[in-house]
Amino acid sequence: MQLSSTRLLTAAFATLLTAGLALSQSQDSSGQSGSQAGQDQPNINTPSTQQPAAPPHEKSAKKEPGSSAPINSPDKVDPKNSKEDVEAVGNRKVGCHVNLYGLDKEIAIGKQYAQEVERSAKLVDDPVVTEYVNRVGQNLVRNSDAKVPFTIKVVDSDEINAFALPGGFFYVNSGLILRAQEESELAGVMSHEIAHVAARHGTCQMTKGDIMQIASIPAMIFIPYSWAGYALYQGLNFAIPMTFLKFSRDDERQADFLGLQYMYKAGYDPNSYVTFFERIQADEKRRPGTIGKAFSTHPPTPERIENTQKEIARILPARQEYVVTSSEFDSVKGRLRNIMFARKAQDNGPNKPTLRTRTEQQDKKKTDSTQTDPGSDDDRPTLKRRTDNP
């Protein structure tokens, strides 16, 4: 009787696990997180370079996804659902179906991690640079599905990197700004990170971890203490990171899908999203380590780039013109470059103390002793052989 009860309890927990994972894995590729319903167009006060739509004879030329040529958008699109409808951005749900964390809790978690980041990272405090990057980012946020306010800051780092924490705490490296050639390229990377927050990928992953931990409790209780039971328990533990890796790749694809819509909705040329990732991919091949570690965890593979090009040609209707760059972007980029040069010059200044290794100090002592004349010290005792025969 006791054995039957154990089997029933184990079966009940297994059913709970299956239901939880099924809900988690039925995630839309578009995501779920409603938004501030802003439909604003880019609010850039300085003159911006506009890219006109392709002439009719150019549109007839077929541009295959995967090629380096810009992909032309169709004149008219027929979205199958809200996740493919750019006009529905801000009025739809994106993200996972099961999330155990409310928005207030998510913001609190993000704030805690943001404090850790700012304790270890050096921030750029130039008001012109920070105001411009914040303005570009907030324009993208208004044209996204995000439901939380964003705090955007610039990190003093040469790495090409950007990352967003749960709750809208967003950090952009100075190396990313300097590597972008146009404002639309910077906007493309920022929109990708905003998509992670809008889809609540951070707390969705935490929810999946919580479900796996709860589901492993009956296994730890009822698995017999034997080598077979120990191996099964170890297998349950190893299943968690493999699941997270799979969902992480799904999250990256979803962030590509949503980020492309957000930058398009804000008025930017979506092809800039592709060109920037192609460039940094080439940089990483020439000089490994160029891309930040957090950014290179999910590199822009040819498959992801080709998928992005397909989405441009499928769900984004053609426009008469796009925002490509602005004179303010060039001005801010030049200002930031001067700040970085000044910082490096200060770090390498002649008056800055330097550390010397112990080996170098020992070598210096040996050199000094070799260069010293032994006979120059009159106080040193000398030994002579006795010549008389005792």
SS3 sequence of 110-126: HHHHHHHHHHHCCECCC
- Within a domain: 10: no
| Phi and psi torsions of 136, nearest 5° | -60, -45
CB atoms within 10 A of CB 258: 28
More confident residue, 6 or 115: 115
- Within a domain: 122: yes
- Within a domain: 183: yes
Of the candidates 136, 173, 134, 137, which has an alpha carbon nearest to the alpha carbon of residue 156? 173
pLDDT digits (tens, 9 = 90+) for 236-262: 444 444 444 444 778 888 999 999 999
Reply yes or no on whether the pLDDT at 42 is more than 90: no
- Within a domain: 109: yes
Section 286-306 average pLDDT: 66
pLDDT confidence tier of residue 280, bands split at 50, 70 and 90: confident
Phi-psi region of 267 (alpha: psi -120 to 50; beta: other; left: phi over 0): left
CB 173 within 8 A of CB 155: yes
Q: What is the pLDDT of residue 305?
A: 84
Section 77-97 average pLDDT: 86
Cα distance between residue 21 and residue 39, in whole Å:
35
Query: Is 179 exposed, middle or buried (CB count within 10 Å of its CB: 0-12, 13-18, 19+)?
Result: buried
For residue 200, give both structure tokens: 């609540």
Cα distance between residue 185 and residue 306, in whole Å:
17
CB 268 within 8 A of CB 260: no
- Within a domain: 4: no
% of the chain with per-residue pLDDT over 70:
60
Find tokens 């034997």 and name the residue. 226
| Residue range of the domain that includes 238 | 28-346
Q: What is the pLDDT of residue 122?
A: 92
| Phi and psi torsions of 70, nearest 5° | -60, 145
Query: What's the residue count for the chain?
Result: 390
Reply yes or no on whether the pLDDT at 229 is more than 90: no
- Taking CA atoms, 56 is separated from 43, 63, 240, 300, 309, in Å, by 30, 14, 52, 31, 20
Kindly report the average pLDDT of the chain as a whole number: 74
% of the chain with per-residue pLDDT over 90:
33
Section 168-185 average pLDDT: 94
Reply yes or no on whether the pLDDT at 120 is more than 80: yes
Section 81-85 average pLDDT: 86
Reply yes or no on whether the pLDDT at 50 is more than 90: no
Section 185-192 average pLDDT: 95
HEC profile of the chain:
CHHHHHHHHHHHHHHHHHHHHHHHHCCCCCCCCCCCCCCCCCCCCCCEEEEECCCHHHHCCCCCCCCCCCCCCCCCCCCCCHHHCHHHCCCCCCCCCCCCCCHHHHHHHHHHHHHHHHHHCCECCCHHHHHHHHHHHHHHHHCCCCCCCCEEEEECCCCECEEEECCCEEEEEHHHHHHCCCHHHHHHHHHHHHHHHHCCHHHHHHHHHHHHHHHHHHHHHHCCCCHHHHHHHHHHHHHHHHHHHHHHHHHHHHHHHHHHHHHHHCCECCHHHHHHHHHHHHHHHHCCCCECHHHHCCCCCHHHHHHHHHHHHHHCCCCCEEEEEEHHHHHHHHHHHHHHHHHHHHHCCCCCCCCCCHHHHHHHHHHHHHHCCHHHCCCCCCCCCCCCCC
- Within a domain: 351: no
Q: What is the pLDDT of residue 36?
A: 41
Its sign, for the CA torsion 171, 175, 176, 178, is positive
Lowest mean per-residue pLDDT among 75-84, 114-123, 315-324? 75-84
CB 161 within 8 A of CB 176: yes
| Phi and psi torsions of 343, nearest 5° | -65, -45
Q: What is the pLDDT of residue 385?
A: 73
Q: Indicate the number of domains in the chain.
A: 1
Contact partners, residue 245, CB within 8 Å, separation at least 6: none
Lowest mean per-residue pLDDT among 143-147, 209-213, 250-254, 298-302? 298-302
- Within a domain: 73: yes
| Phi and psi torsions of 194, nearest 5° | -60, -35
Q: What is the pLDDT of residue 137?
A: 97
Section 319-338 average pLDDT: 94
- Within a domain: 366: no
Cα distance between residue 36 and residue 312, in whole Å:
24
